Amino acid sequence: MLRSVWVDYARKGDPDVIFVGRLRDGEPAALVVRGFRPYFYVEAEDGFDPSRLEDLSGVVRVEEVERRHPYSGERVELYRVEVTYPKVVPKLREQVKELDGVKEVYEADIPFVRRAAIDLNVPPASEIDVSGLEEGSWSGLPAYFADAEEARELDHRPYPLDELVVASFDIEVLAEPGTTTKESSGPVISISFSYRTPDGERKNYVFTWKGEEAEFTVDGVETEVVVCESEAAMLREFVERFRRVDPDVVFTYNGDEFDLPYLKRRADRLGVDVDGLARPPGKRGIVIRPGAARQASDIFGRAHVDLYHTAQKNLKLERFTLEEAVRDVLGVDKEELELDEINEAWKRGDLEKLFRYSAEDAHYTLELGLELAQVELELSYLTRLPLPDAVRFSFGQLAEWRALYLARREGILAPNKPSRDEYERRRREAYKGAIVFEPEIGLHENVVCVDFASLYPNVMVHHNISPDTFDCDCCPEVTVEEADDPAEATVTPSVGHKFCRKREGFFPRLVKRLIKRRREYKARLREVDPDEEPKKYKLLDVRQQAYKVLANSYYGYMGWANARWYCRECAESVTAWGRYYIRKVREIAEEKYGLKVVYGDTDSLFLKLPDADLSETIDRVKEFLEYVNERLPVELELEDVYERILFVTKKKYAGYTTEGKIVTKGLEVVRRDWAPIARETQRRVLKRILEDNDPDAALKEIHRVLDRLRSGEVDLDELAVTSQLTKRPSEYVQKGPHVRAALRLARRLGTEPEPGTIVRYVIVRGPGSVSDKAYPVELAREEGKEPDIDYYIEHQILPAVERIMKALGYSRSQIVGETTSQKTLDQFMG
DNA sequence: GCGGACTGCTTACCT
DNA sequence: ACAGGTAAGCAGTCCGCG
């Protein structure tokens, strides 16, 4: 059993495909697959002479093959052009396109290793049964050899990450003033390194070249500070120790953009060889691939997992720093060292604290990885993408790669990516999405929330919505009104698109399988006691999550302008059926069960039974659910029961569940572009109203904050608004406060703010517009700027609390006024 | 010349 | 950069007024 973590191909001779990993007994090893070559497809006019392809230099073989067309589903005749080497594909592709009689070239843009993992059906991150294969060695590693046909027969399965040697590292550098981390080349002052073996052995290291050797523990793990002669010696020591630990998976936080490229740059400058990081040693240790948006950095023979991507995709944070991610996932308040603090501590020789923080960085990066990365491995397995790439890819890309894999298996030709023009054209064709019902504004008691389980995936499956079933020639038009069962209809309500009922579509089949497998995992999950077997439980849970995430991605995928299988009519039909079902159940709830819909969004309804208590309401809702679930192909479920719930506008509400949990959606409390003081005040007001049912106490909260603000004892941090730049400052048509603040900060640092930069700013006292008065927090503090208290009262606190109190029927004067009228909440209950 | 109404740009949320 | 629907702030312009 080889637990593979990495795939590459031999750069000399034939392009053998090499999977690197570790055997179950602990030995590093490789699987070498011979006899698989790059290829692409050519569609040509009748009478095209294939020898013209064979004559091109680099072409090994041309074969006539039959595939299924991705849109019509019909057979297409193609030439499969097999070539010598991955590098020749781009050139040949262009040459072939120029030939007379060639209509189109397909699948010529799929990187060779990914192509190989798909075609050989060997998931790059999986446990592969290599028993019985020819044994030998490859570049000094024990190796198993298979030809392409043998490889396709190998058994494989996903494995638990912590059964491998996992490690993490993080570097601290002295940044030169006025440079961004991207271009800085100041010295690396320390490297922290943390690892864990499958039998639970753990250790942290800090490698440095100043200060004193020391030992301490971080979170109970032994930590050693190793002081080297020089920076170069430190780099060599790190490489050596890393090599001896020999990790399979290496976690970093932003290693793609920072730690790995920086390390490489610095090592190159000092003449230190980092190729020892590779497995086997001697390969290129750090491989940097420039990307359109972000660059990728890999370590040969190991899986570099940059958790920054994982955090961005899976967590909802205000700022995506390691500290925030660690707090959110592990509940640990790790302190952050500012850039100048690092500089200062290093220069002063005040190093103890520095080393401790540095050790914590690697330690918690590893902890974070152990917590978050398993789902990435499952997604890597399902998409056949190498683990480091699966981590970097968006959900849309992951959905596409799974489709590419299954298309290959089913003999379906993959559509090409759209040209720039086509992409722009697609972007302009908007379509209707979900429906949001008007909320009954105000406070309600005993409200039950119901929602459809995986509405869009199920709609796709039940209505056979797919690029290859759209507008078929074989089925009659049957509208939902004509059909006995909605699932019998071929025509989508509201938009009128027709989908085939005779042949199952590619996407419905794909999504159905994901749903089915997920259901199986969930069933197995119910058999496991999380207290008895926490590891097993977690693994199964992560697995079902991966299936769910993927299944949920296909609706959005079909409407994505960049998708190979783009199908606007499909996406449009999914939302149309969604609207049909939610309207249908709303009608049944109201007309047949007397349940009032006080709000609803896309796939959910908030229901209330007038003049009834909680248990009556729940009983009625259950009867209703049973009725609709017997009659519709999609399943409606009871989601939450609210003791009290306040609807403010569409997409903004807050409720208190019978389980004692406050749920807040869309309100300022959950928005990072509102000042903490406004959010906190709104939170308190909501708590008073929902939990205590006491609006007077809510008013008192408001007055207390207003007093505190006026007294001037509020820290700038409480006033800081967080906002993100989505483009370069110069590209803005309208330079709002966050742009102006970013520009002020950039001017001070002598840099240009990049898209994605997160700005924290305050509005200070002075003349001009709000933007004129927006300063980054650091700058405002440094320059002793006073916050504009009137702004914060009028534009932050009051709007936030007014929205709540107005929904309860309070007027502005009642909110601001010193005395409050004694209105009771009951007057405003619907 | 003033001020409210309105529009467009922008962000961050919901499902 | 997987989708569309939505609220809301700020900047700038429009428009009516007499």
Tell me the pLDDT tens digit for each residue of A322-375: 999 999 999 999 888 777 788 888 888 889 989 999 999 999 999 999 999 999
From the CA of A701, how many Å to the C1' of B14?
A: 28
Give the tens place of pLDDT for each residue, A683-718.
999 999 999 999 999 999 999 999 999 998 899 999
Give the tens place of pLDDT for each residue, A391-448.
999 999 999 999 999 999 999 999 999 999 999 999 999 999 999 999 999 999 999 9
User: Which nt has its C1' nearest the CA of A723?
Assistant: B11
Assign A380 a pLDDT band (cuts: 50, 70, 90). very high
| pLDDT over 90, % of chain A | 86
Strand C close to A593 by CB, under 7 A: no
Arithmetic mean of pLDDT over chain A:
93
Reading the block at residue A14, the tokens are 């034939």
From the CA of A734, how many Å to the C1' of C14?
A: 18
User: Which nt has its C1' nearest the CA of A759?
Assistant: B11
pLDDT of residue A125: 97
From the CA of A768, how many Å to the C1' of C14?
A: 22
Give the whole-angstrom CA distance, residue A389 versus residue A398.
10
| pLDDT over 70, % of chain A | 97
Strand C close to A770 by CB, under 7 A: yes
Give the whole-angstrom CA distance, residue A602 versus residue A456.
10
From the CA of A653, how many Å to the C1' of C15?
A: 37
Strand C close to A564 by CB, under 7 A: no
A360 torsion bin: left (phi>0), alpha (psi -120 to 50), beta (else):
alpha
Give the whole-angstrom CA distance, residue A305 versus residue A311.
11
In this structure, are residues A92 and A61 in contact, taking their beta carbons and an 8 Å threshold? no
**Which has the closest alpha carbon to A79: A92, A95, A91, A67?**
A67
From the CA of A744, how many Å to the C1' of C10?
A: 18
From the CA of A736, how many Å to the C1' of C12?
A: 12
Give the tens place of pLDDT for each residue, A208-237.
999 999 999 999 999 999 999 999 999 999
Give the tens place of pLDDT for each residue, A583-605.
999 999 999 999 999 999 999 99
Strand C close to A556 by CB, under 7 A: yes
Q: What does the pLDDT average to over A230-248?
A: 97
Strand C close to A650 by CB, under 7 A: yes
From the CA of A724, how many Å to the C1' of B8?
A: 20
Strands A249-252 and A166-173: parallel
How would you label A158-194 residue by residue, b for 16+ Cβ within 10 Å and e otherwise? bbbbbebbbbbbbbbbebeeeeeeeebeebbbbbbbb
**Element containing residue A188 per DSSP (H, E):** strand A188-196
What angle separates helix A506-527 from helix A455-462, to the nearest 10 degrees? 130
Q: What angle do CA A813, A816, A821 make, to 5 degrees?
A: 60
pLDDT of residue A484: 87
The radius of gyration computed from the CA coordinates of chain A, to the nearest angstrom, equals 30
What angle separates helix A339-348 from helix A351-383, to the nearest 10 degrees? 140
In this structure, are residues A1 and A129 in contact, taking their beta carbons and an 8 Å threshold? yes
Give the whole-angstrom CA distance, residue A479 versus residue A488.
9
User: Which nt has its C1' nearest the CA of A606?
Assistant: B15
User: Alpha helices of A55-176 — where are they, by DSSP H?
Assistant: 89-98, 112-119, 148-152
Strand C close to A434 by CB, under 7 A: yes
Strand C close to A314 by CB, under 7 A: no
Strand C close to A495 by CB, under 7 A: no
From the CA of A651, how many Å to the C1' of B14?
A: 6
Give the whole-angstrom CA distance, residue A42 versus residue A67.
11
Reading the block at residue A328, the tokens are 């959110």
From the CA of A734, how many Å to the C1' of B8?
A: 9
Q: Which residues pair with A79 in a beta bridge?
A: A42, A64
What is the DSSP code (8-state) at residue A793? Answer: I
Strand C close to A562 by CB, under 7 A: yes
What is the side-by-side order of every strand in the sheet holding A102-106? Answer: A59-68, A75-83, A39-44, A102-106
User: Which nt has its C1' nearest the CA of A667?
Assistant: B13
Decide: helix, strand or coil at residue A726. coil
Give the whole-angstrom CA distance, residue A736 versus residue A372.
36
User: Which nt has its C1' nearest the CA of A393?
Assistant: C1
pLDDT of residue A830: 40
pLDDT of residue A180: 56
From the CA of A739, how many Å to the C1' of C10?
A: 12
Q: Phi and psi dihedrals of A669, rounded to 5?
A: -50, -40
Cα within 13 Å of Cα(A382), Cβ side: 30
Strand C close to A315 by CB, under 7 A: no
pLDDT of residue A337: 79
Reading the block at residue A543, the tokens are 């697995």
**Which has the closest alpha carbon to A576: A455, A427, A454?**
A455
Lowest mean pLDDT among A90-99, A157-166, A291-300: A291-300
Q: Which residues pair with A304 in a beta bridge?
A: A250
Residue that is written with structure tokens 């209950």 in the block = A829
Give the whole-angstrom CA distance, residue A439 versus residue A599.
4
Q: What does the pLDDT average to over A601-622?
A: 96
In this structure, are residues A41 and A81 in contact, taking their beta carbons and an 8 Å threshold? yes
Amino acid identity, position A440: E
Strand C close to A559 by CB, under 7 A: yes
Output the furthest CA–CA distance in chain A (Å, rounded): 93
Q: What does the pLDDT average to over A460-472?
A: 96
Q: Where on strand B do bases come within 7 A of a protein Cβ?
A: 8-15
Residue that is written with structure tokens 């999504």 in the block = A511
Closest protein residue to C4 (Cα–C1'): A433
**How many residues in chain A?**
830
What is the side-by-side order of every strand in the sheet holding A134-138? Answer: A134-138, A141-147, A28-34, A17-23, A2-9, A127-128, A156-157
From the CA of A744, how many Å to the C1' of C2?
A: 35
In this structure, are residues A524 and A480 in contact, taking their beta carbons and an 8 Å threshold? no
In this structure, are residues A302 and A274 in contact, taking their beta carbons and an 8 Å threshold? no
From the CA of A65, how many Å to the C1' of C11?
A: 61
From the CA of A769, how many Å to the C1' of B3?
A: 16
Residue A822 has pLDDT above 50, yes or no: no
Q: Phi and psi dihedrals of A191, rounded to 5?
A: -125, 120
Strand C close to A769 by CB, under 7 A: yes
In this structure, are residues A802 and A819 in contact, taking their beta carbons and an 8 Å threshold? no
Strand C close to A723 by CB, under 7 A: no
From the CA of A763, how many Å to the C1' of C12?
A: 20
User: Which nt has its C1' nearest the CA of A721?
Assistant: B11
Give residues lining strand B (CB < 7 Å): A 434, 451, 601-604, 651, 664-666, 670-673, 722-727, 732-734, 736, 738-739
pLDDT of residue A178: 57
User: Which nt has its C1' nearest the CA of A735?
Assistant: C11
Strand C close to A436 by CB, under 7 A: yes
Give the whole-angstrom CA distance, residue A581 versus residue A503.
24
Closest protein residue to C1 (Cα–C1'): A394
From the CA of A670, how many Å to the C1' of B2?
A: 38
Reading the block at residue A136, the tokens are 């030998």
